[in-house]
Structure 1
Amino acid sequence: MCSGLLPRTGTEYVMKKNAHFKADEADTRLGKFKGLEVRIGTIVDDEWDEPMGPTPMPDPTGLRSWDHKLLSRYQPSYMPYCQVCCLCTFGKCDLSGDKRGACGLDIKAQQARIVLAAANIGCAAHLAHARHLVDHLIEEFGPRTALIQGPGTEIHAPVSRLVTGMRPRTLEDAAIIVGYCETQLAHTLSATHTGQEGSWLDFESKVLHAGMIDQVGMEIADLVQISTM
């Protein structure tokens, strides 16, 4: 998977999938081969020389320490809010005052979990749209179709490049980025399950992560539409 590829410092990778080479006969230094067929899952091309940040394609914990710094300084305010949790079969749980639910959550963590659930819903809606567009356009025009934003564009796909460290050049590249986003959404969604987090800080950190992934998905959806109109 592309998310397992960690770009070297100072390099932004361009990743291609499913390379396929076939030859009836090939004469090489290693010998002569007949019926040669080679398939490669992913090719990494580092021809684009641009400084790389420290966290390309981060997972939900990749920016956790920075999120905690922000959230400790600028704490969210929840209003209005419900003091009862009904999200699992252990409930209903009364979280008023200093009470905790059956899973151990207090009211602040519960409210942060509700915010994360809402962020995941919005992210899923945009990612589903992006996935449908990418798959349909690949079927219509082919995976090698170039992503072109038009003349005068200073930075190509700035959000995707910032978050993933990858410059999407084709519909195939867009599919790789959408796949990364879908994986991240699965992680943030799983955190809303009963007993997965004990602190409101970690829920809110994942809210920021889901929002970041949402922005990437929306950019890819717009980019593939513009490029194939």
Structure 2
Amino acid sequence: MTKRLRFRVDELKTDIGVLKGLELQVGKIVEEWEEPEGPTPMPSIADLRKWDYKLLQRYKPMYLPFCDLCCLCTFGKCDLSRNKRGACGLDISTQQSRIVLLACCIGAATHLAHARDLVEWLIENYGRNAPIDLGKQVFLEAPHVRLVTGIKPKTLGDLEDALDYAETEVTRLLACTHIGQEGSNLDFESKVFHAGMLDHVAMEIADIAQTAVLGFPKADP
């Protein structure tokens, strides 16, 4: 877990002189956990791909295309019916998984935008050090954020690093949908899993922030 530190002294008298307007700022301080860190904190698109492929090979996706055209880039329109391929080389299965990834990115981006606006507004009005308190009966305040990012949030400011990570990853996922550049439809499906993971992080951040600060019902008896 990381924390930011800012220290300011208007006037400090020492044996060697008087210091005025002293201000020190440390970008991040790493806080050790009680348990060891997992193997993939803040995973990139490729970090969990092997595990994704194990799932996708066991539970193969089935596509029911509602459209056999691709109209997403200036190479097209491309007819993908009857086993045809588009100008970039993708087939109908790859196109369908690409559309699914786009839809998941839209959903994740929506929840991230809401979480970002909420956290920034709360920090502006309540301060970055406002504590995260979800009630005495909650012993694991942020399971998704902890598991995915390795951050154990204690204040509103701690949620910003998790938001930064998720926003960066969604941007990378969207870049992958530009043209049919993936090797197979399973490449896109692996990224769909990644987008879903980020979406859960975003929703949890918003829930934690509003519950901790805005007086929403907590897990108290």
Same fold (TM over 0.5): yes
Deviations 1:9-68 (CA, angstroms, capped at 9, x unpaired): xxxxx2113x2223444769xx8784543222111111x312322111101111011111
Deviations 1:106-164 (CA, angstroms, capped at 9, x unpaired): 11111110000000011111111101110000011000001111011132211111111
In 2: Cα distance, 1:33 partner to 1:109 partner: 68
Partner of 1:226: 211
In 2: Cα distance, 1:159 partner to 1:44 partner: 20
User: One-letter code of the match for 2:2?
Assistant: M
Residue 60, structure 1, aligned to residue 36, structure 2: no
Partner of 2:128: 143
User: One-letter code of the match for 1:22?
Assistant: R
In 1: Cα distance, 2:105 partner to 2:27 partner: 30
Shift of 1:82: 1.6
Residue 155, structure 1, aligned to residue 136, structure 2: no
Residue 126, structure 1, aligned to residue 111, structure 2: yes
In 2: Cα distance, 1:56 partner to 1:202 partner: 21
Partner of 2:2: 15
Query: What fraction of aligned residue pairs are identical, expressed as a percent?
Result: 54
Residue 42, structure 1, aligned to residue 25, structure 2: no
| RMSD of Structure 2 on Structure 1 (CA) | 1.8
Unaligned runs of 5+ in 2: 216-221
User: One-letter code of the match for 1:131?
Assistant: R
Residue 78, structure 1, aligned to residue 63, structure 2: yes
In 2: Cα distance, 1:33 partner to 1:60 partner: 52
- Tell me the secondary structure at the aligned position of residue 157 of structure 2: helix
* CA 1:27–1:64: 2 relative to 1, 3 Å: farther
Which aligned segments of 4 or more residues in structure 1 are displaced greater than 3 angstroms?
22-28, 31-37
Partner of 1:9: none
Q: How many residues align?
A: 212
In 2: Cα distance, 1:157 partner to 1:87 partner: 37
Shift of 1:97: 2.2
Shift of 1:200: 0.8
Unaligned runs of 5+ in 1: 1-13
Q: Aligned match of 2:86 in 101, 110, 121?
A: 101
User: One-letter code of the match for 2:25?
Assistant: R
In 1: Cα distance, 2:180 partner to 2:97 partner: 13
Q: Is the 8 A contact 1:143 1:170 kept in 2?
A: yes
TM-score (norm 1): 0.87
In 1: Cα distance, 2:76 partner to 2:18 partner: 67
In 1: Cα distance, 2:7 partner to 2:152 partner: 24
Partner of 1:6: none
Partner of 1:180: 165
- Tell me the secondary structure at the aligned position of residue 176 of structure 1: helix
User: One-letter code of the match for 1:54?
Assistant: P
